[in-house]
Structure 1
Amino acid sequence: MFLSFFLKKRYLYQYLIGFSGCISVLTSGINLSWTSPYLPKILNGTYTNLSMTNDEGSWCAVMPLVGAFPGAFLTIFIVDRIGRKISTLIMAPIALASFILLAFSNNVFLIFFVRFIIGAVEGGLYTVLPMYLGEISDPQIRGILTASMGTSSIAGALLINILGFHYSIFTSSLLCSIVPIVHFLTFIFVPESPYYLIKNNKIDDAKNSLKILRASINVDDELNELKLIVARQEFEEKPKMTNLFTVKSNRRALLIFIIINCTRKFCAKNPIQFYTSSIFHSAKGSISANSSVIVFLSIEFISAILGVFLLDKTGRRPLLIVSTTICAITLHLTGLHFIFQDTYPSYLSMFNWLPLTSLTIYNIFYTVGLELAQTVYLGELFPTNIKGKALGIAEMLSVINSTIVSKIFQILGDNFGLHYSFFFFSGCCVVGLLLVIKFVPETKNKTLEEIQLYLIHKTASKNPNNSS
């Protein structure tokens, strides 16, 4: 039954298109996790032509986040001008050039520059791709398609750690340059979003796009419905940046995203991802740091595949609640480990399995909930006429939070000990959990129009005398 659903012809084309788009997100996972295998080697002098202080190393780790901010900002202005498809495609040659440049990098500042540029690509992709996938997909599989971005990013992280433990920067960079080539050669054949085409009065093109996406020639009813939806949104709210803040339903959507994003980021996944190898080395676990990293990421990847399907089966909200709860507990346990290993000499002989176990459980639940759900909500919460601007702002907020969290983790760890870092972010998870329970709605199996009507009704019910 499950396999027949997955292979249903109407959905199969959408899965293939989604897979092509998500190939691009491999570059994000590669870039974000690049420091895990290579930063310790640079800091310990393995690469004699590269030298870096600990402070420079922390900035090297967050450089993709710094680059993602302008990348998202620029994408805001092109996604509604040149379309979702072209906006995604242009990221491929930039990523390709960056990987080739990284292969021949002979100084730290060139590495900073390359990581900044690929970070800008990431910012652009996370602005446009959730929008594209959300607009082309049926409600029944929209969660699967958009959540696959997170799975792809995790696959990229696993790939670079495997390559990084066995190959030089030169070799791994050239191997990774294959990713944007494959993305470009496959994505060039996908159709444009029918929402975008209708917005730009390309009705015949929109109809042809729907025929491909739905694997059917009978798309007139859906086309007419999309035309009415776009017309209503354009009539009610002219597409201006200020609408994101002045229209109550948009403000509610933005509030929901801020809560999800802050909860996700303050679960400390980014610094754990940046410093995975260093954390396991400091934890003095029962197996080597390199092996721990591979086990850690392999289980995360398997969890992501499972989570992609759970999102459309159990819903987004329950997974968010369970995920945040388990993250709070496991981060606290990891903090206790770093206290006990220095305080009680006999502790390690009995509990040297704890850091890998607790962080692996953390990784599983973070992935199936917080990691994947945010991407799905991004493609669902905002109306078509301001979605490009909203997702750009959302990505910039995400970058700011990631940078703050990464620096807090590093500062607390360097000055007070890693246990302070883990305890602090465990407390942040608890705060985020309460906010998710209070404010975040369920969107499972709802069309994009039904979600907008829910947000409008929710704000109107609180303000019966206000029609906005």
Structure 2
Amino acid sequence: MCLSLGNVIVGYSVCWSAPVIPKLLDAAQTPLTEVLTVEQASWLAAIFHLFVIIGSQTGAFLSNLVGRKPTLILFGAICLSSHIIRVLARDFNILLAGRIVNGLGVGGIASGNLVYIGEIASSDLRGIMLTVTGVLHTIGGLLVFSLGPYVSYAVVEYTAIALGVTHIGALFLIVETPVYHVIKGNEEAARSTLHFLGRSKDVDKELKTMIENVNRINVKYTQVNSKNMLSNCMLLDILRRRRNRRAMLITATLLTIQEGSGIACILSFATTIFRQAASSVDADVATIILGVTQVFGILLAPILVERYGRKSLLIFSTAACALWTALLGAHFYLELIQHPILYSIRWVPLATLISFLICYNAGLGIIPNVLVGEMFSPNVRSTGSSIAMSISWVAAFLSSLSFGYIIMLIGTYILFIIFACLNIIGCIFTIKFVPETKGKSLSEIEEMLAKR
């Protein structure tokens, strides 16, 4: 619960541009001295994703150096400062700077939360706890979708500031993870933390597994004095060991497909998409409906992920997302040629995006994040997860940035056809390469990756 507001803030920040950019394009609502151009709006939405990479990488380094808890507090403060910058912004450059700082903070929070939960949860609860992060993410998105169209720009930022202050206060209540204590050689602190977390029945087993994993990898953090040497050890271990290479290939590919599915554009430009498609439902109302749909879809994930497993849900989700993005691309093509059938199917954009979000959030939206928390060896978990997520944020950056340029140069329908193709690739990749990790301990997953 103490981590929960961090995930809400991540969702709020990712979806911020959808209701706010229309305000910045409107001379009557913008707080800036000049309204944004379409190109500036694309950069404002996209630059956030690029700087999440730096935040996640920096967070991974610091979490191994000073601990998971202090790192989360630091990046919570960075995220809070970004909203203060944005509420004071009066020109595009300052606003862009605020968005950059926001990306740094969100990167550290998003990757840090996944690592933290992966290290404190038992194997029977880990999947559910990791999927809950996605639920909270969508709640943050729904909050800004519902609030943004009906309040001023300043109120949107003040709400984020209130969330940030509460989040930082809550983080002071959490404990350091037992895995970090083991890495630092403090076995007694790890044992005490496991008892505190209600893991008294399996303390000896879990502690033995953690110690064996760290000793097997033979990386003694307390004996490493050079920061560069520490980073190099972790990167070399990812490249040298088969299980870590496979973990990187699987998680990086799935996270790239996750962002390349079209979700980044849809969440960043939902209101704009509905206006372009001439939807029969008001664009602001349709965006809120999407936010509600996101929450509904992601609430299915904790139930489905433990019942049907990771792999089968991913196959279904990627195939369904391919279908819905292809249909939306077809609708925009009909819009381009002004086909007469459009007058009777103005409801299609909303219906298609609702279906897309339900299918996306039931599988593709959450399972790659679950696998990030499960697949890497303990001492490289922070580094491995941050690298994998960095690759996905590059995909999100390119997806968001391409929106404005592609629709001007080629057409919106081409963009959604590209998304459909990427989803098909994701489906095929899942069938061939992704293992099932349902019900397996972290050590069992490591052994399975080493053998495949």
Q: TM-score if structure 1 supplies the norm length?
A: 0.90
Contact 2:2/2:173 (<8 A) preserved: no
Does residue 107 of the first structure (1) align with residue 101 of the second (2)?
A: no
Name the structure 1 match of 2:380. Answer: 386
Once residues 345 and 227 of structure 1 are traced to their aligned partners in structure 2, the CA distance between those partners, rounded to angstroms, is 66
Equivalent residue in structure 1 for 2:126, among 111, 136, 142: 142
Distance 1:242 1:217, change over 3 A: closer
Name the structure 2 match of 1:44. Answer: 26
Equivalent residue in structure 2 for 1:165, among 149, 159, 174: 149
Name the structure 2 match of 1:185. Answer: 169
Matches within 5 A, 1:7-406: 19-46=1-28, 47=30, 49-214=33-198, 216=200, 219-234=203-218, 239-406=233-400
Distance 1:350 1:58, change over 3 A: same
Contact 1:195/1:230 (<8 A) preserved: no
Structure 2: state its 5+ residue gaps.
222-229
Contact 2:255/2:389 (<8 A) preserved: no
Contact 1:259/1:436 (<8 A) preserved: no
Shift of 1:215: 5.5
Q: What amino acid sits opposite 1:146 in the alignment?
A: L
Name the structure 1 match of 2:226. Answer: none
Contact 2:3/2:171 (<8 A) preserved: yes
Shift of 1:279: 0.2
Greater shift in the superposed pair: 38-47 or 420-429: 38-47
CA RMSD of aligned residues (A): 1.9
Once residues 455 and 345 of structure 1 are traced to their aligned partners in structure 2, the CA distance between those partners, rounded to angstroms, is 51
Once residues 412 and 436 of structure 1 are traced to their aligned partners in structure 2, the CA distance between those partners, rounded to angstroms, is 28
Once residues 186 and 443 of structure 1 are traced to their aligned partners in structure 2, the CA distance between those partners, rounded to angstroms, is 31
User: Could you list the per-position Cα deviations for residues 266-324 of structure 1 after superposition, in whole angstroms to 9, with x for gaps in the alignment?
Assistant: 21110111100000111111210011000111011121112122112211111110000
Contact 1:324/1:366 (<8 A) preserved: yes
Distance 1:225 1:435, change over 3 A: closer
Shift of 1:376: 0.3
Contact 1:133/1:145 (<8 A) preserved: yes
Contact 1:80/1:388 (<8 A) preserved: yes
Distance 1:223 1:431, change over 3 A: closer
Once residues 236 and 85 of structure 1 are traced to their aligned partners in structure 2, the CA distance between those partners, rounded to angstroms, is 20
Q: What amino acid sits opposite 2:162 in the alignment?
A: I
Once residues 28 and 169 of structure 1 are traced to their aligned partners in structure 2, the CA distance between those partners, rounded to angstroms, is 18
Equivalent residue in structure 2 for 1:419, among 413, 418, 423: 413
Local SS of the residue matching 1:419: helix
Once residues 255 and 220 of structure 1 are traced to their aligned partners in structure 2, the CA distance between those partners, rounded to angstroms, is 33
Does residue 441 of the first structure (1) align with residue 440 of the second (2)?
A: no
User: Could you list the per-position Cα deviations for residues 251-280 of structure 1 after superposition, in whole angstroms to 9, with x for gaps in the alignment?
Assistant: 111111122122212211101111000001
Contact 2:42/2:401 (<8 A) preserved: yes
Q: What amino acid sits opposite 1:306 in the alignment?
A: L
Distance 1:68 1:50, change over 3 A: same
Shift of 1:410: 3.1
Distance 1:266 1:217, change over 3 A: closer
Once residues 263 and 41 of structure 2 are traced to their aligned partners in structure 1, the CA distance between those partners, rounded to angstroms, is 18
Once residues 317 and 25 of structure 2 are traced to their aligned partners in structure 1, the CA distance between those partners, rounded to angstroms, is 34
User: Could you list the per-position Cα deviations for residues 40-64 of structure 1 after superposition, in whole angstroms to 9, with x for gaps in the alignment?
Assistant: 2212323262421111111001121
Once residues 155 and 401 of structure 2 are traced to their aligned partners in structure 1, the CA distance between those partners, rounded to angstroms, is 30
Shift of 1:22: 2.8
Contact 1:149/1:375 (<8 A) preserved: no
User: Could you list the per-position Cα deviations for residues 369-409 of structure 1 after superposition, in whole angstroms to 9, with x for gaps in the alignment?
Assistant: 11100110110110001112112211221121111222333
Q: What amino acid sits opposite 1:419 in the alignment?
A: Y
Once residues 344 and 444 of structure 2 are traced to their aligned partners in structure 1, the CA distance between those partners, rounded to angstroms, is 54
How many residues matched? Answer: 440
